[in-house]
Structure formats: structure tokens, C-alpha cells
């Protein structure tokens, strides 16, 4: 039976979800919902675009509503709100606010008999899963998460807010020396500066002062002050030509010991190299939407995270097929 | 509440499980059971050793019986047999016979109201899980599994059976060029010979002919004939000094594409570097024993695999703690 999907929000992530749903043979994309004028939005696959006001009328016509909004302002209200009508899934990634968001979504989903999953994607999401698995296997050990090489949208936005900056792209890059030490099982203590460098490509407004902009970037608290930061000034043409993609990735590494006297070292590493951050995030969300649809049909309600979902629910294959082909 | 564990079989894997259970703060190792004379077996941690004939009398005193026998002859009979009395877990790794083994264990566990998990460890086990997750996320892609660098016990045994060989150790090593091509997203077609080389360290009996032994190894069907194999003749002292460990590991890599026209490449890699294959396998089995104990207390019966277990069940932390610290 085909799983019917709706997408709320049509930015980079919405388009990433659209691609992943269309690539799934057991899913049908019913409509994209937008706060913009729907006539102004053209979907990549030609699927119908509806105004947000039409969403409630789709109750019963959509198995899972996939929320493609941002964590700062969209998801904290949207996920609990639409859990009243639909099974929902989001990629909420404000780590510190996950317990609060979970509680809000859980209350509404339970009250309305729906099932929800929050914080899917790759971090939170696949990286979280790998932290959990590796910690359970090696209780005596140390965790390391590295991000990149990849474009950080938040840091790129922070640069764009500086006076005199026309456009900017910021890459987060793991420090190779730190990565080598972790992979060698040396269990180093690493400061923020030891782990990542920040590489910035900046297009200036006409007449802007590069010295001022560079100083503003390098001293910006939280975003750049604690890192070794490099600033490159480039033309708008070069930015569009060489820095228009949204690659990302990283590694979750756990280094641990076993044995009678902790005499044996082990390294568990999970590594992602992604050409398109939003398309990969959309792909993860899509297989969790499959899981949520199935679990809802079994009568489950309330809020879940990736920690609560047995892996078999993610695959279109049956348990027998999985055991015969992937175990 | 403490989870009470029994171990059946006390070879390398049994000792690996013993270390992992002792390292788990929520577990208690009740006894090791052996087919040998129990007085001849000394456990690493001093835990009690019982004869196999005493096992049934422990019904009700053990939450999970962990089976540490071999897949060729022990587990096909032991796992279904002891599922009549206990919740059980094994590391059955004969991939082709998993469906049959699953059916046998499932029937007895259901009939006797117990819960079982088969084929845990790292392959099958963590590698299987990573194949499933990566296939669900990237349906348009290709899988690669590399093993090593590590000691293959089966291949070492095969060399030892050759006339004139006193002892031997065989290392399976991934071919770097193949690994590089896969990690670069080139999706190469790789033959058996392209993926792994086999490196053999052999101690000869006095008067044995090295030419004969080398020829016997390199032409052995299934084990060596399809690989580039190197044979080193060394002294018994050198074998004991430099080749007495049981390191292993490997990588599961999925290379896939997303996008409107499959224009974006992604690489998902899960990599293990293990100083001790049996201790790491024991560590994986131990956290799945925790999951089985919890799921049995919830009233579940029958047979499961790692695909059926929600990750949260593996951790001693509560769901709230997991969401707050690992998501």
C-alpha cells in the first residue's frame, strides 16, 4: 500500500524531501504546502502546491506530514500544532531545546491519537544513533564528533549580517591532526580550536573595507572567536561558480577499551561525505516517515525519536527479505 | 534492577562476553557453563563454573543466557534447545543458514514464552545494521563491505590442516586502491581479488617442504585461490611474539545518489578497528542481552535480530537521558 506524504515548507529541505519521496517506490507525494502564494511556487517534480490554509482539509488524505521548516521559529509551533491532525516528522535541531519540543509534540500527539518523530536527519539523527550504539557497545570510552568539510548555513548568515558584506559562504573543516590522533586511539583532550577550522569566502559591497569585515568576522563571539578562521575575499561570480553547493558531512568516532585490564583498544567510526546536505537530510526523514506510517498503523501514538525506532521499520523490504539479504 | 547473565561456552568469545558483562554496571554474571570438566576451567574474573548438566536447574535464576559456541556445530542445536528454558542470544554467523536458524529458534521461543536474538556481533550485527540504515536512506546506490586488517580464524585453521604446517595465522587485508575508489564515489565493479589480499604467517614442522606448503595454500579453492596471497615462513617464537592477538575490523560503505537527476553523490561509511575481535563481539552481544531482557519483561516472545531492536533498548540510560545527552 502506498504511503501518502505531504510536505510543509518548500525551501532547500522541502526540495530534498521531494526528491527522496519521489525516489521511494512505496510512497506518493500528495502535495506541498506553503505560506507563500501557492501560484508563485513551482515544485521540481510538478507536484501540486497548496496554501497552508488548505492543509487541515487534507486530514485523512495524508499518512505522514513532513515538516521542512526551520528550528528557530517554524518547528517549535508547527510540529505540535499539526500533530493534532497528522502523523508528523521534523528535523528539529536545537539540541538544548529537544526535551521541551519533545514534551510539546508528545502531549498533542497523544491527545489526538497521532504519531510523531522529531529531530531526524543526520545530526541530530544518524550521528545521534551512532553515538548511542557506540556508547552502548563500549561503555569505557570517549566520543568525538567532527563536522565537515561542509557549508554551515548559520555561520554564512552571520557573516552576511556584517555591514559591507554582500554575500558569504562559510566552510567548517575538521583539523586533520586532531582527527588522526582520535583515529589512532590516543583519546586526546581537544579544545574547540583544536577540532575545527572555519574557512570564509566573502563578497564585499562596493567600497566596503576588507580589514573591517575580516576583523568583525574573526572576533565574532560563539561563531568565530574560538576558532582559527581564514577569510578570502572573492568576486560574486566566483562565489556563484565555486561555492553554490551545500556539501556537508563529518564523523562520529568512539574510542574505547575492553579486556580484563582495559588492554584492548577499539575504534568505531561513522562517516558521512555529502554533496547535498538538504537532500541527504530529506532522504533520512523520508525513511523515518515510512517507519512512522507503519508504527501508526500498529496503533502507536505520541512522540518518538530515532532512538525509539527499530531499524527494520525504515526499509521497504520485509523482515524475511532483510534477514536473507542484509544480515 | 540487575540483569542476571549466564554464559554457555568458555573459549575466546566466552571470555570476551565475561569482560563486557563485568564492565556493565547494570549486570551480574551468575555463572559460566561448560561441556568440559568444570574444575578444569578457571574464569578470568573468578566467576563460578558449572557443568552443562546443571544449566536447566538455573531456570528462573538467569535473565539471559548468552551462547558463546561456534556456528558450525554448537549454535544450530544449542540456541533452539536452550530457548526452551531461557531468553537467549547468539552470534550465529553462517549467513546462508540464518533463515533456517531463525525459524528453529523462533518456534521454540514462542512455544515456551521466551525471547531470543540471533546473529549479533559485528558481522552479522553492526555491519548488517549499517547496511540496512544506509540502504533505507540511499535506495539508489551500491554497497561495499571490506574486512580487515584482521585475523581470519577459518583461514588460519585451513592452513593448519596442510601437511607440514605446525601453526599459522592469516590476515585479511582490504586492497587500498579499491577502498580509495569506493570512498571517492566511483562505484567500481570489484572482483573478489580486487577487494582483499590474504597474508599468511606459517610455522613449518621440522623437515617440511616450504614450496609444497606455499603451493597448497595459494591454490586452495574458496579460501585462497581467488585472492592474491602472500606466504611468510616464520619461527614459532616469532608467531607467538608478533601474531598472537586477534585484531579485526573493516568497513561497510554505501555510495549513493540523490537529486532531480541523481546529480549529488553521498558516501556513508561505518568503520571498525578492533584490537580484539572476540572482546568486541562480546561487547555487542552484551548490550543486546540488555535489550532482550527488557523486551522480555514487556512480554515479547519469539526470535529477533538486530534489525528488530529499537536502539534505546541497548543503553543503560533512560529515554529522557538519551534525548538530553546523545540526540
pLDDT one digit per residue (tens) for chain A, 327 residues: 899 999 999 999 999 999 999 999 999 999 999 999 999 999 999 999 999 999 999 999 999 999 999 999 999 999 999 999 999 999 999 989 999 999 999 999 999 999 999 999 999 999 999 999 999 999 999 999 999 999 998 899 999 999 999 999 999 999 999 999 999 999 999 999 999 999 999 999 999 999 999 999 999 999 999 999 999 999 999 999 999 999 999 999 999 999 999 999 999 999 999 999 999 999 999 999 999 999 999 999 999 999 999 999 999 999 999 999 999
Nearest CA in chain B to A121: B137
Q: Which residue has 512522540 as its cell numbers?
A: A303
Q: What's the predicted TM-score (pTM) here?
A: 0.97
DSSP-derived 3-state class of residue A164: coil
Query: Three-state SS string across B160-199, please?
Result: HCCCCEEEEEEEEEECHHHHHHHHCCCCCCCCHHHHEEEE
Query: Is A326 in contact with B307 (Cβ distance < 8 A)?
Result: yes
Best B258, B290, B320 residue to mutate vs chain A (most A CBs within 10 Å):
B258
C-alpha cell at B36: 568440559
CA distances from A242 to A169, A210, B131 (A): 10, 21, 33
Q: pLDDT above 70 covers what percent of chain B? A: 100
C-alpha cell at A1: 500500500
CA separation for the pair B125, A140 (Å, rounded): 20
Whole-number pLDDT of residue B94? 92
Q: Which residue has 535506495 as its cell numbers?
A: B139
CA separation for the pair B16, B286 (Å, rounded): 10
Sign of CA dihedral A50, A34, A90, B254: positive
Whole-number pLDDT of residue B1? 82
Sheet strand arrangement including B115-117 = B49-51, B27-34, B3-8, B64-67, B87-89, B115-117, B302-304
Question: Please, are residues B8 and B78 in contact by the beta-carbon 8 Å criterion?
Answer: yes
User: What is the mean predicted confidence (pLDDT) over B230-237?
Assistant: 98
Q: Is A183 exposed, middle or buried (0-12, 13-18, 19+ CB in 10 A)?
A: middle
Say what the ipTM of the complex is: 0.97
Question: Please, are residues B34 and B51 in contact by the beta-carbon 8 Å criterion?
Answer: yes
DSSP-derived 3-state class of residue B67: strand
Q: Which residue has 521548516 as its cell numbers?
A: A69
Burial A103-141 (b: 16+ CB within 10 A, else e): ebbbebbeeeebbbbbbbbbbbbbbbbbbbbbbbbbbeb
User: What is the mean predicted confidence (pLDDT) over B294-304?
Assistant: 98
Window 249-268 of B, Cβ < 8 Å to A: 258-260, 263-268
CA separation for the pair B91, A38 (Å, rounded): 55
Best B311, B316, B322 residue to mutate vs chain A (most A CBs within 10 Å):
B311
Which helix (H) or strand (E) is B5 found in, with range? strand B3-8
Judged by a CB distance cut-off of 8 A, whether residue B96 touches chain A is no
Among residues B92, B326, B76, B323, the alpha carbon closest in space to that of A117 is found at B323
pLDDT digits over B172-227, tens only? 999 999 999 999 999 999 999 999 999 999 999 999 999 999 999 999 999 999 99
Pairing of strands B228-233, B196-204: parallel
CA separation for the pair A179, B124 (Å, rounded): 28
Whole-number pLDDT of residue A1? 81
DSSP string, A97-158: GHHHHHHHHHHHHHHHT-EEE-S-SBTTBHHHHHHHHHHHH-SSEEEEEEE-SEE-HHHHHH
Judged by a CB distance cut-off of 8 A, whether residue B234 touches chain A is no
pLDDT digits over B119-141, tens only? 999 999 999 999 999 999 999 99
Q: Which residue has 528539529 as its cell numbers?
A: A92
Chain B residues with CB inside 8 Å of A271's CB? 267-271
Window 20-39 of A, Cβ < 8 Å to B: 20, 23-25
pLDDT digits over B80-133, tens only? 999 999 999 999 999 899 999 999 999 999 999 999 999 999 999 999 999 999
CA separation for the pair A252, A195 (Å, rounded): 13
C-alpha cell at B283: 561487547
C-alpha cell at B267: 558516501
Amino acid at each position: 500500500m502506498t504511503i501518502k506524504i505531504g510536505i510543509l515548507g518548500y525551501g532547500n529541505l522541502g526540495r530534498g524531501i521531494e526528491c527522496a519521496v519521489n525516489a521511494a517506490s512505496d510512497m506518493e507525494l500528495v502535495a506541498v504546502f506553503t505560506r507563500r502564494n501557492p501560484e508563485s511556487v513551482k515544485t521540481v517534480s510538478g507536484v501540486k502546491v497548496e496554501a497552508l490554509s488548505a492543509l487541515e482539509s487534507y486530514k485523512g488524505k495524508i499518512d505522514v506530514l513532513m515538516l521542512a521548516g526551520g528550528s528557530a521559529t517554524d518547528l517549535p509551533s508547527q510540529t505540535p500544532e499539526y500533530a493534532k491532525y497528522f502523523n508528523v516528522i521534523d528535523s528539529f535541531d536545537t539540541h538544548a531545546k529537544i526535551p521541551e519540543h519533545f514534551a510539546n509534540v508528545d502531549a498533542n500527539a497523544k491527545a489526538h491519537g497521532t504519531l510523531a518523530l522529531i529531530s531526524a536527519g543526520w545530526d541530530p539523527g544518524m550521528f545521534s544513533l551512532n553515538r548511542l550504539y557506540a556508547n552502548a557497545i563500549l561503555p569505557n570510552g570517549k566520543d568525538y564528533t567532527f563536522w565537515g568539510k561542509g557549508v554551515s548555513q548559520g555561520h554564512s548568515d552571520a557573516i552576511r549580517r556584517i555591514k559591507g558584506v554582500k554575500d558569504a559562504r562559510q566552510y567548517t573543516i575538521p583539523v586533520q591532526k586532531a582527527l588522526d590522533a582520535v583515529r589512532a586511539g590516543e583519546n586526546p583532550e581537544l579544545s574547540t580550536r583544536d577540532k575545527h577550522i572555519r574557512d570564509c569566502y566573502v563578497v564585499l559591497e562596493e567600497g566596503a573595507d576588507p580589514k573591517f569585515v575580516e576583523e568583525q568576522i574573526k572576533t565574532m563571539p560563539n561563531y568565530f572567536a574560538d576558532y582559527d578562521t581564514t577569510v578570502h575575499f572573492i568576486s560574486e561570480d566566483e562565489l556563484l561558480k565555486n561555492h553554490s553547493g551545500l556539501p556537508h558531512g563529518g564523523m562520529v568516532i568512539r574510542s574505547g577499551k575492553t579486556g580484563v585490564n582495559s588492554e584492548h583498544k577499539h575504534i568505531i567510526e561513522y562517516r558521512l561525505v555529502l554533496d547535498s546536505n538538504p537532500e541527504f537530510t530529506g532522504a533520512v526523514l523520508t525513511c523515518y516517515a515510512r517507519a512512522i506510517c507503519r508504527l501508526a498503523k500498529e496503533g502507536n501514538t505520541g512522540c518518538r525519536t530515532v532512538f525509539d525506532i527499530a531499524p527494520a521499520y525504515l526499509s521497504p523490504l520485509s523482515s524475511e527479505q532483510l534477514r536473507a539479504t542484509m544480515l
